[in-house]
Amino acid sequence: MPLKLETENIDELKAGMPLSKLSKRFQDAVKIARWMGIDYIWIDALCIIQNSKSDWVLEASRMGEIYSNSYCNIAATSSEENKGCFTDRPRELVEPCAVSDPLSDDPEKTHILGYNDFWCNSLLDTALHNRGWVIQERLLSPRTIHFGQEQIFWECREIKACEAYPEGIPEAFCDWRTRAWGRLDEALIENGKYSKGTMAQQHPSFLQRLCAWLKGTTMPMSATTAPSPRLPTAYEFWSRTVERYMECKLTYQQDKLVAISGIARKIQEATGERYLAGLWDNSSLAPSLLWYVLGRRQADSTASVRYRSVEDDYRAPSWSWASMEAKIVWHWPVGCESVLIKISGKEVNTTVGTELTGVASAKLHIEGHLSEAKLRIAGHDQDGYATEDGCYALQLKSQATSSQQITELEPAVFLDTPLLPDHCVDVHLLPVCTGWNGLTGDIDTQLAGLVLKKVTCRFEAKYERIGIFGLDQTQAYLLYGLGSEKTNDFNEYITNLERSVITIV
């Protein structure tokens, strides 16, 4: 049984203990710290009282500061508890493969062979980096040393390197996420007053550098200079971080907001914006409601697939990604042109801790146009899954006339929990934004919004989010009775339709 700090052994551990009592991984971590001349090391299991809820709540809220103010993060990447940080490996795994081409114009030139997912396969796809808590460790720490299965990697804001490439891993060998972070980092340097040299002396993490730019203090922009279109926004950074975070695993799903709260706190300190159960109270709040679930599109007839946490295990409202236990993607991280709703009220009641770590209940009051519809599965492929195109069909009353004319459309619909075969659900459609098609990349304008389900309430109309929908221009025109002829005032037309004020919980 691994040694851990508990209320019963606090005094014993304060008095000191032999290193041999620790697991092999922690023994190696202590040795590494000593080799680097570091006197103190933080190990969660030995620094947080494991059987004390109050101590966990207190220390969990401080994790962001602990990572940010550390000297170095030691990551035992892909190692098992009893194996430690160091592994035996063949030397040829470390040495880069160099070849020359005698038939080329420059036969003396050496070429390095590698694969473009080297960084991803060696680090990001390992067991350690698929743990939710590790996301903020990497983003908040100024440096990280990864002790991998085959070699040692190290990264800071200056370089990503390893034993095979000590002067820096070629960008071509990194995954798209790593290349994207690198470009964002370069944009911050390019638009700030610091050079790489001065950055290296201070060793801020990427998140610290982003927050400095957002604050406009340590990296001010000229009042007459427009920000570069390459500059990341807090919204883009947050959405990409959450997408990666939701790919990872948490032992306790109730930690969903806690395990990313260190990043949220840094962004909040930089922007001054209010945190709403995983979203931000700013001009991007409306499009940030349009995340969707990646996964199976249809539930099995014998066992329903459920991604959202059940009511007894409440941790976030239905409109927040934090209510889900699945991979999610934002429909519009960029590209939203026009917002069609007005969010008139936001209420978040917190549990123990702060609004960053615990939510007891939350609701949004929204003014917009609602359309009633029936949702059903439209088709299946040979394996019985809902087809990718035309996955769901919507039957709805046309807006063109007061008659009971029924229009059936097959838009892009992404439900938070897959629909059972042969089920038909009464839903309400709330158009939220228009913009270029974030699902397919089409240039033509698309309408996107929330699929809602009415819930029983005695005093007010309440709705739960159950998914999102996307309509191309032709489908949107049919829905709102404009025929096939395009109009330049489509957004204005929808905005002027009859509107309701609803509450989404």
In tens digits, the chain (505 residues) has pLDDT values of: 788 999 999 999 999 889 899 989 999 999 999 999 999 999 999 999 999 988 988 888 888 889 988 999 999 886 666 778 888 877 777 777 788 888 777 777 887 776 666 777 777 778 888 899 999 988 888 899 999 888 888 988 778 888 888 888 877 777 655 655 555 555 555 555 444 444 334 566 666 666 766 665 443 333 333 444 434 467 778 888 899 899 999 988 888 999 999 889 888 887 788 999 999 998 889 999 999 998 655 444 444 455 565 555 788 999 999 999 889 988 764 557 789 999 999 999 887 667 788 888 999 999 999 988 888 777 654 334 444 444 677 776 555 444 455 566 667 888 888 877 667 788 999 999 888 765 555 556 788 999 999 987 667 779 999 999 888 777 777 777 665 555 556 777 777 778 889 999 9
Pick the closest to residue 503 from 477, 451, 476, 464 (CA basis). 464
The 3 state secondary structure assigned to 9-54 is: HHHHHHCCCCHHHCCHHHHHHHHHHHHCCCCCCCCHHHHCCCCCHH
**Rounded-to-integer distance, Cα 31 and Cα 66, Å:** 20
- Residue type (1 letter), 295: G
162 CB-near residues (< 8 Å, 6+ apart): 122, 148, 151, 152, 153, 154, 169
What residues contact residue 127 under an 8 Å CB cut-off, 6+ apart? Answer: 78
- Give the C-alpha separation, 480 to 490, whole Å: 10
Question: How many CB atoms within 10 Å of residue 107?
Answer: 9
Q: How many CB atoms lie within 10 A of CB 317?
A: 23
Token reading at 442: 């089409």
Which pLDDT score, from 0 to 100, does residue 392 have?
73
Domain extents in the chain: 7-97+113-174, 247-504
What is the token pair recorded at 111?
């070429």
Q: Which residues of 161-190 are buried (b: 16+ CB within 10 A; e: fewer)?
A: bbbbbeeebeeebbbeebeebeebbebbbe
Strands (E), 335-491: 336-339, 342-350, 359-368, 371-377, 392-397, 406-409, 412-415, 424-436, 445-455, 462-472
- Name the maximum alpha-carbon separation found in the chain: 82
User: CB-hemisphere CA count at 13 Å for 246?
Assistant: 25
Q: Where are the alpha helices (DSSP H) in 224-345?
A: 234-245, 261-271, 285-288
Report the C-alpha gap between 477 and 488 in whole angstroms: 12
pLDDT of 225 = 39
Burial classification of residue 318, based on how many CB atoms lie within 10 Å of its CB (0-12 exposed, 13-18 middle, 19 or more buried): buried
Six-digit token pair at 73?
Answer: 């993060």
Burial class (CB in 10 A: 0-12, 13-18, 19+), 46: middle
What DSSP state is assigned to residue 273?
A: P
Residue 70: closest CA among 271, 264, 208? 208
pLDDT at 381: 42
- pTM as predicted: 0.81
Residue 382's contacts (CB-CB under 8 Å, 6 or more residues apart) are none
Strands, E assignment, 249-370? 275-276, 279-280, 291-294, 327-330, 336-339, 342-350, 359-368
Could you give phi then psi for residue 245, rounded to 5 degrees? -60, -40
- The HSE-up count of residue 29 (CA atoms within 13 Å, CB side) is 23
The count of residues in the chain is: 505
**Confidence at residue 314, expressed as pLDDT on a 0 to 100 scale:** 84
Rounded CA-CA distance 241/129 in Å is 13
Instruction: Output the CA angle 48-52-53, nearest 5 degrees.
Output: 100
Answer whether 67's CB lies under 8 Å from 73's CB: yes
User: What is the structure's pLDDT at 347?
Assistant: 92
